[in-house]
């Protein structure tokens, strides 16, 4: 395994050598941070677009944007940026890259240069996506045919960008799978693996298996746009419903590419701040693998009103209910871990518990969309918008923020301001729920999504949602400012401020270039909190 020349006793940050030393680096920690910086940039742009839309929706007539076409472009760009440039790479590319070798006791991932290439491909795909922005993409982030098959220039840029970004995801998945199989420290057997590693493993399987499907689908859409070959356009003999089948066969598993690593983060945080061993370790492992497997069997619930046969809808409805079982196993195990524990409510734990609370709402509202009768009413309403944001923002994004607060001392060797972190958490919690709970009610009342104007009776709830959206935006801004300030000006962090038994905490903060002075030998389970001898590695 190759490395650039560096002093192994110097921490990996070493800003003095400038930007090019980072751009050419094959250190997994640096690549994780570069992914993080890039995705935070896109997160801010996507968030600003969301605030523009919410400001427009505060009243029932156009008041901010000049016309409805501009609104269509705004929500399309919000979706494309947030999904393809921020949340799909999300935790695996950032915390996964940074933490996986540290948790395994390895010096780096199995293929460091391939890891660097995946980041370069991500940057290239991001630039290509901005070509679609220039040409006014307005199809929505799902690129539904037949409209997207006639929206040539913008869709060609967008599909090329998403196709390119898919390669970064596949390469990352392959790298992680090989690293987990081949790079574990002596004594780190499969039944001792950290739960974050297990969810990263399940996620990598999804990345490798599911991503080629969307790649093929987008390639077909590219050909349809450029050659009119009759794949998705009914006027030339194509089938637009075929696009939906192919798109959702990928896009439902991709939800768990976003969510599973966040579940792994929560599984790491709760035992540390409860000072108890994780309850039901093997059950959580099998639940993670089970979620990944079942996620390939439920894509049809996005298409209950697309004209499929009744028996097909019954099967997809049952399978969608069934996917809740392994998810519920995890929730019960997290609660059981905290039961009678010595719980410490520091900011990582606050975010972890927020994840559990918000994801429970996402799951219980998902039952309404898995039920054929209620889905017929809620489909394409604001109920779906709220459910989706409780799943993705309340789940994946809050999970990422939980992990950033937890591992921040390890990443930067500095501490953020805990008081400011808690204030930001309050703003986020209140702002998020205040934004999206009214949208559940709007959906129940029949308010369709993707409309810039609406009937007057919906205005009160839209105004409430917009008001709290700005609280949400202020909360996120405060989080990012606090973490950025802490990375530069924060006080020096201890090597293990939270007294975690995880292997990643057994090296200095920030880690040295090769992570460990010597490869550790694992002799204990890393969740042995409260045991007389503790646990960890020697």
Q: Using the predicted structure, report yes or no on whether residue 112 has a pLDDT greater than 60.
A: yes
φ, ψ at 421 (rounded to 5°): -60, -40
2-27: average pLDDT: 70
Cα torsion through 177, 178, 183, 189, rounded to 10: 50
467-479 pLDDT per residue, tens:
999 999 999 999 9
Q: Shortest CA distance to 477 belongs to which of 400, 412, 423, 438?
A: 423
Name the residue among 236, 367, 203, 350 with its Cα closest to residue 298. 367
* Share above pLDDT 70 across residues of the chain, in percent, rounded to a whole number: 96
Mean pLDDT for all residues in the chain = 91
Cα 205 to chain centroid, rounded: 16
Interatomic CA distance for residues 112 and 92, integer angstroms? 15
Is the pTM higher than 0.75?
A: yes
How far apart, in whole angstroms, are the C-alpha atoms of residue 79 and residue 375? 22
pLDDT band at 3 (very low <50, low <70, confident <90, very high): very low
Residue with token string 């998945």: 173
DSSP state of 381: B
**How many helices (H) does the chain have, and how many strands (E)?**
18, 0
pLDDT surpasses 70 at 167: yes
Predicted confidence band of residue 402 (pLDDT cuts 50, 70, 90)? very high
Band of residue 2 on the pLDDT scale cut at 50, 70, 90: very low
For the cut 60, the answer to whether the pLDDT of residue 257 exceeds it is yes
CA distances from 10 to 101, 411, 488, 497, 538 (A): 18, 14, 18, 21, 22
Band (pLDDT 50/70/90 cuts) for residue 1 is: very low
Q: How confident is the model at residue 518 (pLDDT cuts 50, 70, 90)?
A: confident
CA distance 387 to 406: 27
| Residue pLDDT, tens place only, 333-361 | 999 999 998 999 999 999 999 999 999 99
Tokens coding 109: 């991932």
Give the model's pLDDT for residue 476.
Answer: 97
**Could you tell me which residue, 524 or 198, shows the higher pLDDT?**
198
Measured CA to CA in angstroms, residue 492 lies from 360, 375, 384, 411, 507 at distances of 37, 52, 44, 12, 15
Residue 304 has pLDDT above 90, yes or no: yes
Q: Residue 510, preceding bond cis, omega within 30 degrees?
A: yes
Predicted confidence (pLDDT) at residue 534 exceeds the cutoff of 50: no
pLDDT value at 532 more than 60: no
């Amino acid at each position: 395994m190759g490395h650039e020349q560096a002093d192994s006793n110097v921490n990996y940050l070493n800003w003095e050598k400038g930007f090019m030393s980072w751009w050419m680096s094959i250190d997994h920690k640096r690549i994780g941070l570069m992914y993080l910086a890039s995705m935070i940039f896109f997160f801010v742009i996507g968030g600003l677009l969301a605030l523009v839309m919410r400001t427009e929706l505060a009243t029932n007539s156009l008041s901010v944007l000049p016309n409805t076409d501009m609104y269509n472009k705004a929500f399309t760009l919000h979706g494309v940026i947030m999904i393809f440039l921020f949340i799909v790479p999300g935790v695996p590319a950032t915390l996964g890259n940074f933490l996986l070798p540290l948790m395994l006791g390895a010096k780096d991932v199995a293929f460091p240069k391939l890891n660097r290439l995946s980041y370069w491909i991500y940057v290239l795909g991001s630039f290509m996506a901005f070509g679609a922005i220039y040409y006014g993409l307005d199809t929505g982030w799902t690129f539904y045919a037949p409209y997207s098959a006639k929206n040539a220039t913008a869709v060609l840029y967008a599909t090329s960008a998403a196709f390119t970004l898919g390669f970064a995801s596949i390469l990352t998945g392959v790298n992680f799978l090989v690293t987990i199989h081949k790079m574990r420290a002596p004594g780190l057997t499969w039944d001792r693996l950290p739960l974050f590693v297990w969810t990263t493993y399940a996620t990598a399987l999804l990345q490798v298996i599911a991503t080629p499907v969307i790649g093929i689908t987008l390639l077909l859409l590219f050909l349809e746009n450029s050659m009119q070959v009759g794949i998705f356009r009914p006027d030339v003999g194509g089938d637009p419903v075929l696009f939906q089948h192919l798109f959702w066969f990928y896009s439902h598993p991709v939800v768990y590419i976003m969510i599973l690593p966040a579940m792994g983060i929560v599984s790491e945080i709760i035992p540390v701040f409860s000072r108890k061993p994780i309850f039901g370790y093997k059950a959580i492992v099998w639940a993670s693998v089970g979620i990944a497997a079942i996620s390939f069997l439920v894509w049809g619930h996005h298409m209950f009103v697309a004209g499929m046969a009744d028996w097909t809808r019954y099967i997809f409805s049952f399978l969608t209910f069934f996917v809740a079982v392994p998810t519920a196993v995890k929730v019960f195990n997290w609660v059981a871990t905290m039961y009678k524990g010595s719980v410490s409510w520091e900011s990582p734990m606050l975010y972890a518990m927020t994840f559990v609370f918000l994801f429970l709402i996402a799951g219980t509202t998902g039952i309404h969309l898995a039920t054929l009768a209620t889905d017929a009413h809620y489909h394409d309403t604001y109920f779906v918008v709220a459910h989706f944001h409780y799943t993705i923002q309340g789940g994946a994004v809050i999970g990422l923020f939980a992990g950033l607060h937890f591992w921040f001392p390890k990443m930067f060797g500095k501490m953020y301001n805990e008081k400011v972190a808690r204030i930001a958490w309050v703003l986020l919690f209140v702002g998020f729920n205040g934004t999206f709970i009214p949208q559940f009610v709007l959906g129940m009342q029949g308010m369709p999504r993707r409309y810039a104007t609406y009937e007057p009776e919906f205005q009160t709830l839209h105004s409430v949602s917009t008001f709290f959206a700005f609280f949400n935006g202020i909360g996120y801004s405060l989080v990012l400012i606090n973490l950025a300030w802490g990375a530069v000006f924060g006080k020096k962090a201890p090597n293990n401020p939270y007294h975690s038994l995880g292997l990643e905490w057994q090296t200095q903060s920030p880690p040295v270039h090769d992570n460990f002075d010597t490869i550790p030998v694992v002799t204990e389970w890393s969740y042995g909190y409260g045991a007389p001898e503790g646990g960890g590695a020697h």
